[in-house]
Amino acid sequence: MNQKGLFLLILFTSTIALAQVGGKNTYQFLSLVNSPREAALGGKVVTNYDYDPTQALYNPATINPAMDNQLSVNYNNYIGDVNYGTASYAYLWDRRTQVLHAGVTYINYGSFDGYDELGNATSSFSGGEVALSVGHARNILFTNFHVGVNVKLISSKLEQYSSFGGALDIGVMYVYDDWDLHITGVARNIGTQFTPYDEVYEPLPFELIFGISQTLENIPIRWHLTFENMQVWNIAFANPARGDTDLEGNTTEEKINFIDNTFRHTIIGIELFPEKGFNIRLGYNLRRAEELRIVEQRAFAGLSAGFSIKLNKLRFSYTYSKYSTAANTSFFGLNIDLGR
């Protein structure tokens, strides 16, 4: 991949993957989707309170005893030559629900052709980033509230530049078993660079996410509603290609209102047969759909679909996500029950 390809890749990734609009933060890979399940439901889902330890990478309040001895590994064949994945594991320390969670998130940007300022070829180079996390959650006594924290150490190497940093995720979750209702809020990536790439310290992609989900009574469907990027309300922007031009050539810019901004924050998803050995997942990310939509062409951007199947102690998951007519991704995951 040459330098032009690198520029286009960074530009595209900043549009579809960043938690804060505008690409003004470092360690952007922390905002990528962590698992096929999360991707199939539209991304950034934070309300799954069950066996899957990958969920705790996004929301530590979901750490619970059902995750005991569960190992999850996930891999995404992302845009261009970029590959990334996650691995996570939870262990029940004692009967007082002392569950410890550990996880890793990595990304490899592939190989790039290097050139000097005169356009002469130099040596090729690569880039990669990794985050290691440890998390724990506790139930607030005599309530249905759970509070969790992740501590993350982050390492990044881009060509000859490297950086090291740290961050916290803090989540609060309300679980009402009678209605199978989950309501949660999480503050992600509260942290800083310990050592910058050069001299300038850059902010991390801090994000506030709120979510709610529920399994319908007597119907095998669980719905998910997620609101992302709540730390900034005005994230919609006017697309010059959608302006109105009159007969005299005067152009009126696209109007952005409260409803437009509300949609940009919204992600919806459903799981069919959520507690069975085989289930189907569908999601729609409204911000991704709007920002990557091509005028007068149906590209189905923002849609995602996947499934999972359980075979004894293994559960395999797959998700296909659509970004545009030129870009889509496949996400693979495997959850292994290591319990006896």
How confident is the model at residue 6, as a pLDDT? 36
The string over 229-259, giving b where at least 16 C-beta atoms fall within 10 Å of a residue's C-beta and e elsewhere, is beeeeebbeeeeeeeeeeeeeeeeeeeeeee
Q: What is the predicted pLDDT for the residue at 306?
A: 97
Distance of CA 31 to the CA centre of its chain: 5
Output the pLDDT for position 273.
94
Shortest CA distance to 66 belongs to which of 91, 88, 84?
91
Residue 204's pLDDT is 96
Per the model's pLDDT, the better-predicted residue between 8 and 103 turns out to be: 103
Q: pLDDT band at residue 308, thresholds of 50, 70 and 90?
A: very high
Confidence tier at 295 by pLDDT (50, 70, 90): low
Comparing 19-23, 188-192, 196-200, the range with the smallest average pLDDT is: 19-23
Q: How many other C-beta atoms lie within 10 A of the C-beta of residue 10?
A: 13
The stretch 274-294 carries a mean pLDDT of 89
Q: For residue 81, is it left (φ>0), alpha (ψ between -120 and 50) or beta?
A: alpha
**pLDDT at position 72:** 97
pLDDT at residue 127 is higher than 60 = yes
Using CA atoms, how far apart are residues 101 and 115, in angstroms rounded to an integer? Answer: 43
Mean pLDDT of the chain: 87
- Decide which of 6 and 198 is more confident: 198
* pLDDT at position 89: 97
Mean pLDDT of 36-55: 95
Q: What is the pLDDT of residue 242?
A: 65
Question: In the structure, what pLDDT confidence band is assigned to residue 249 with cuts at 50, 70 and 90?
Answer: low
**CA 27 from centroid of its chain's CA atoms:** 13
pLDDT band at 245 (very low <50, low <70, confident <90, very high): low
What H or E segment, with its residue span, contains residue 156? strand 145-158
61-75 pLDDT, tens digit per residue, is 999 999 999 999 999
- Report, as an integer, the average pLDDT of 272-281: 94
Stretch 4-25: mean pLDDT, rounded? Answer: 44
- Judge residue 7's burial from the number of C-beta atoms within 10 Å of its C-beta, 0-12 exposed, 13-18 middle, 19 or more buried: exposed
* pLDDT surpassing 90 at residue 193: yes
- Specify the CATH number for 3-230+265-337; select among 3.20.20.70, 3.30.1360.170, 1.20.1090.10, 2.40.160.60: 2.40.160.60
pLDDT value, residue 8: 34
Q: Which pLDDT score is estimated for 227? A: 97
- pLDDT given for residue 166 in this prediction: 97
| Position 247 confidence tier, pLDDT thresholds 50, 70, 90 | low
C-beta of residue 130 within 8 angstroms of C-beta of residue 155:
yes
Q: Quote the pLDDT of residue 283.
A: 96
Q: Please, are residues 147 and 71 in contact by the beta-carbon 8 Å criterion?
A: no
Assess whether pLDDT exceeds 50 at residue 95: yes
What's the CA gap between 77 and 82, in Å, rounded?
7
Any bridge partners for residue 121, and if so which? 115
Q: What is the mean pLDDT of residues 166-191?
A: 97
User: In 3D, which of 171, 183, 236 has the Cα closest to residue 207?
Assistant: 171
Other residues' Cβ atoms within 10 Å of the Cβ of residue 11:
10
DSSP-derived letter for residue 216 is P
User: Cα 20 vs. chain centroid, distance in angstroms?
Assistant: 12
- For 33-73, the DSSP string reads --SHHHHHTTS------SS-GGGGGT-GGG--GGGBTEEEE
Q: Across residues 140-158, what is the average pLDDT?
A: 95
Q: Is the pLDDT score of 177 beyond 90? A: yes
253 versus 37: which is more confidently predicted? 37
pTM for this prediction: 0.86
Greater model confidence, 282 or 298 = 282
Tell me, what's the pLDDT at 94?
Answer: 77
Total residues belonging to the chain: 340
Cβ(154)–Cβ(164) under 8 Å?
Answer: yes
Q: How does residue 16 score in pLDDT terms, banded at 50, 70 and 90?
A: very low
